[in-house]
């Protein structure tokens, strides 16, 4: 069961990837779906046993490396933290597989697509069940590879290839820091296995490395790694471009796999992070900044998937600052609920795109809500959950995050709280902007497209409905376990809160207005969206014209891409060319070639004596040998 949850997806990937040609498309698809379903069953059973029944376990598989004290194995570690992720990932991924059967039905190579999807899921599962940092890194890089393949799935499009490469390389930048963090961990603890590290943190709490506190440095390095994978500000640029992949891929990247890895890492390393207060402050500030930064961009984007992508970026910011103030449980809870409603939103968007004959620009949609009522309804549910409207899933987790930030009573905590409230307002605003522009108003698509607008087939609607149920209920059902009164038994030590860290209690004792604030700003945001896009549609255009600079700044995503292109990409290219043409060709080769030119004149005479060139050199070699040997013999 425990092993099955992880390896069924791999089996599915192999079946579909290697035998796809013999099985045929239909059989290949359904066999991967079946494998995923089996994995989900195993995952749920494991969740029952480990999390609800409090039976953590570790399954060693194979020694990986054992070099001079650096020793670690392939193993599956099942504690509450990992089993929550396993259950969530397998469940969501199964629904996405099912949905893809419908969504990719017109594709030329669906077997390849399903192989990638299952591989992606497998890598994520390896990541969350890792027993040591190296195996975590295996999954970490593995999801990078799978996302690269999936984003570039339509590889004859230039833009898809560019986006795929960008995703991989930006992730790699983060990975460098992760790798260095692992090296430092080994340097400090003499091991990279979690059990050994966690048992010895207190002992090494005051270690210093190169004049800096070692634990803090580990925390910062690992966080920088997490920034790459979880698209935090600075290393976020790959995430919006990742929209080039088919929509189910976006759902998988944003909901279940990949981007949540960074948050998971913070929670997994909580025993170390708890001894690294400065690192945690950095996490909080970066998370809060990302939350507000991505939300501002989300307000002006016109691609339906991009808007949702920026909302993911923003929600990840929430999770990070929750971890930053020490409320890892809350961060994981938001990750868990977010998975449901974000998958729902993306798959819903996919359904819209499917209906609109692959149109993604919301300026060319509108007036379709009567034609695709189920999609419309689930998009509403997803948006309500995202905006944190009471009793939907997002309400429980997002409110808890803001309460925790407030309860931290620190400068960075308040900064995070303010950013979080503002972002909550913007989130509600852009969610309803999206809903209204997509579904209401006069149809802005051409006549031909409008004729073909149709509801998606059942194989796509069933996952949507299941996810909608999740988006409504998961918050209310699981809140007591993740963050409520059963919190302690549920986590069972999988997440560590230091002795000084009382945030899990303090967050329940905040002033009355704090839990109300997010709901209020959420509703205000919704109302504003209605005013601006439904009742007085002239306002947005006038605003954009009045604040032209600000509008362009947001529309161009704070000019991050242009900046990076200017600072890194262009100079690198130019330098690479200079190194090659000047460094290698002129300077390094110039010297021997120049010397050869002088020597050539001298040698020309000598060469004539020889019949063949090889013999010439062999002869020189032997003569040289003789001379040297003789010299030494004489010398003796």
User: Where does this chain bind other proteins (CB under 8 A)?
Assistant: 62-70, 74, 134, 137-138, 140-142, 145, 148, 152, 155-156, 158, 161, 164-165, 168-169, 172-173, 175-176, 179-180, 182-184, 186-187, 209-210, 572-573, 575-577, 579-580, 583-584, 588-589, 592, 613-614, 617-618, 621, 624-625, 628-629, 632, 635-636
Q: Which is nearer to other proteins, 562 or 589 (CB)?
A: 589
Q: Which is nearer to other proteins, 63 or 556 (CB)?
A: 63
Q: In angstroms, what is the minimal distance from the CB of 38 to other proteins?
A: 23
Q: In angstroms, what is the minimal distance from the CB of 28 to other proteins?
A: 14
Within 10 Å of residue 610's Cβ, how many Cβ atoms?
13
Do residues 228 and 330 touch, judged by C-beta distance below 8 A?
A: no
Question: Burial level of 44, CB count in 10 A (0-12/13-18/19+)?
Answer: middle
Q: Which is nearer to other proteins, 222 or 355 (CB)?
A: 222
Q: Which is nearer to other proteins, 69 or 538 (CB)?
A: 69
Residues constituting the chain: 636
Do residues 12 and 98 touch, judged by C-beta distance below 8 A?
A: no
The angle at the Cα of 267, spanning 324 to 72, to the nearest 5 degrees, equals 135
Q: In angstroms, what is the minimal distance from the CB of 181 to other proteins?
A: 10
For 235, the 3-state DSSP assignment is coil
Do residues 553 and 559 touch, judged by C-beta distance below 8 A?
A: yes
Query: Which ranges of 299-372 would DSSP assign to H, the alpha helix?
Result: 304-324, 328-355
Residue 193 DSSP symbol: B
Q: In angstroms, what is the minimal distance from the CB of 635 to other proteins?
A: 8
Q: Which two tokens stand for residue 499?
A: 């002795």
Helix, strand, coil distribution of the chain in percent, nearest 5: 75, 5, 20
Q: Which is nearer to other proteins, 62 or 499 (CB)?
A: 62
Q: In angstroms, what is the minimal distance from the CB of 86 to other proteins?
A: 20
Q: Which is nearer to other proteins, 37 or 218 (CB)?
A: 218
Q: In angstroms, what is the minimal distance from the CB of 355 to other proteins?
A: 28
Q: Which two tokens stand for residue 386?
A: 């995202």
Q: Which is nearer to other proteins, 61 or 555 (CB)?
A: 61
Q: In angstroms, what is the minimal distance from the CB of 169 to other proteins?
A: 5
The Cα–Cα gap between 280 and 323 comes to 8
Q: In angstroms, what is the minimal distance from the CB of 171 to other proteins?
A: 9
Q: Which is nearer to other proteins, 547 or 628 (CB)?
A: 628
Q: In angstroms, what is the minimal distance from the CB of 149 to other proteins?
A: 8
Q: In angstroms, what is the minimal distance from the CB of 494 to other proteins?
A: 24
Q: Hey, which residues does 63 pair with through a beta bridge? A: 73
The Cα–Cα gap between 152 and 242 comes to 9
Q: Which is nearer to other proteins, 520 or 576 (CB)?
A: 576
Gyration radius (Cα) of the chain, Å: 29
How are beta strands 212-213 and 208-209 bridged, if at all? Answer: antiparallel
Q: Which is nearer to other proteins, 222 or 344 (CB)?
A: 222
Please report, for the chain, how many H helices and E strands are present, in that order: 30, 4
Alpha carbons within 13 angstroms on the beta-carbon side of residue 243 total: 20
Q: Which two tokens stand for residue 579?
A: 């190194």
Q: Which is nearer to other proteins, 556 or 620 (CB)?
A: 620
Q: In angstroms, what is the minimal distance from the CB of 241 to other proteins?
A: 15
The DSSP string of 511-565 is: -THHHHHHHHHHHHHHHHHHIIIII-TTHHHHHHHHTHHHHHHHHTGGGHHHHHI
Q: In angstroms, what is the minimal distance from the CB of 151 to other proteins?
A: 12
The residue behind tokens 């999390």 is 51
Q: Which is nearer to other proteins, 217 or 331 (CB)?
A: 217
The Cα–Cα gap between 309 and 299 comes to 12
The Cα–Cα gap between 191 and 197 comes to 7
């Amino acid at each position: 069961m425990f092993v099955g949850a992880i390896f069924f997806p791999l089996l599915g990937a192999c079946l579909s990837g290697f035998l796809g040609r013999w099985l045929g498309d239909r059989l290949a698809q359904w066999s991967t779906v079946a494998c995923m379903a089996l994995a989900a069953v195993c995952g749920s059973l494991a969740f029952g046993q480990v999390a609800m029944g409090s039976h953590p376990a570790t399954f060693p598989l194979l020694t990986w490396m054992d070099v001079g004290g650096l020793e670690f194995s392939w193993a599956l570690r099942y504690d509450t933290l990992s089993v929550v992720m396993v259950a969530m990932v397998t469940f969501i991924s199964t629904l996405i597989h099912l949905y893809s059967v419908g969504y990719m039905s017109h594709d030329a190579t669906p077997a390849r697509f399903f192989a990638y999807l299952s591989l992606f899921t497998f890598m994520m599962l390896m990541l969350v069940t890792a027993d040591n940092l190296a195996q975590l890194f295996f999954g970490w890089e593995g999801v990078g590879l799978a996302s690269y393949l999936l984003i570039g799935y339509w590889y004859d499009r230039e833009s898809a290839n560019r986006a795929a490469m960008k995703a991989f390389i930006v992730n790699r930048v983060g990975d460098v820091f992760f790798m260095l963090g692992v090296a430092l961990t080994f340097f400090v603890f003499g091991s990279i296995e979690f059990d050994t590290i966690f048992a010895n943190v207190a002992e090494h709490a005051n270690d210093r490395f190169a004049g800096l506190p070692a634990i803090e440095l580990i925390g910062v390095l690992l966080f920088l790694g997490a920034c790459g994978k979880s698209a935090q500000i600075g290393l976020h640029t790959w995430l919006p471009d990742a929209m080039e992949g088919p929509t189910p891929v976006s759902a998988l990247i944003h909901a279940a796999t990949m981007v949540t890895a960074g948050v998971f890492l913070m929670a997994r390393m909580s025993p170390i992070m708890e001894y690294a207060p400065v690192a945690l402050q950095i996490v909080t500030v970066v998370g809060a900044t990302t939350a507000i930064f991505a939300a501002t961009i989300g307000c002006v984007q016109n691609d339906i998937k991009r808007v949702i992508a920026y909302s993911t970026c923003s929600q990840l910011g929430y999770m990070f600052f929750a971890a930053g103030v020490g409320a890892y449980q809350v961060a994981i809870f938001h990750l868990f609920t977010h998975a449901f409603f974000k998958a729902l939103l993306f798959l819903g968007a996919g359904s819209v795109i499917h209906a609109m004959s692959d149109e993604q620009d919301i300026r060319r949609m509108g007036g379709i809500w009567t034609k695709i009522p189920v999609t419309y309804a689930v998009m509403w549910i997803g948006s309500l959950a995202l905006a944190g409207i009471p009793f939907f899933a997002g309400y429980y987790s997002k409110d808890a995050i803001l309460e925790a930030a407030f309860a931290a009573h620190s400068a960075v905590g308040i900064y995070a709280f303010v950013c979080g409230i503002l972002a909550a307002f913007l989130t509600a605003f852009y969610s309803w902007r999206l809903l209204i522009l997509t579904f209401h108003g006069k149809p802005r698509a051409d006549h031909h497209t409008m004729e073909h607008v149709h509801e998606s087939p059942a194989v796509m609607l069933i996952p949507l409905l299941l996810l909608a149920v999740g988006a409504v209920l998961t918050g209310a059902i699981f809140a007591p376990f993740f963050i409520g009164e059963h919190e302690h038994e549920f986590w069972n030590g999988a997440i560590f809160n230091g002795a000084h860290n009382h945030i899990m209690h303090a967050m329940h004792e905040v002033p009355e207005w704090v839990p109300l604030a997010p709901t209020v700003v959420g509703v205000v945001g919704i109302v504003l969206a209605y005013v601006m896009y439904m009742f007085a549609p002239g306002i947005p255009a006038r605003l954009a014209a009045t604040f032209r600079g600000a509008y362009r700044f947001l529309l161009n995503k704070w000019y991050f891409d242009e900046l990076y292109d200017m600072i890194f990409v262009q100079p690198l290219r130019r330098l690479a060319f200079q190194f090659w043409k000047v460094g290698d060709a002129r300077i390094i080769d110039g010297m021997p070639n120049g010397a050869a030119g002088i020597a050539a004149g001298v040698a020309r005479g000598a060469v004539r004596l020889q019949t063949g060139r090889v013999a010439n050199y062999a002869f020189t070699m032997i003569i040289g040998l003789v001379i040297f040997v003789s010299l030494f013999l004489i010398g003796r």
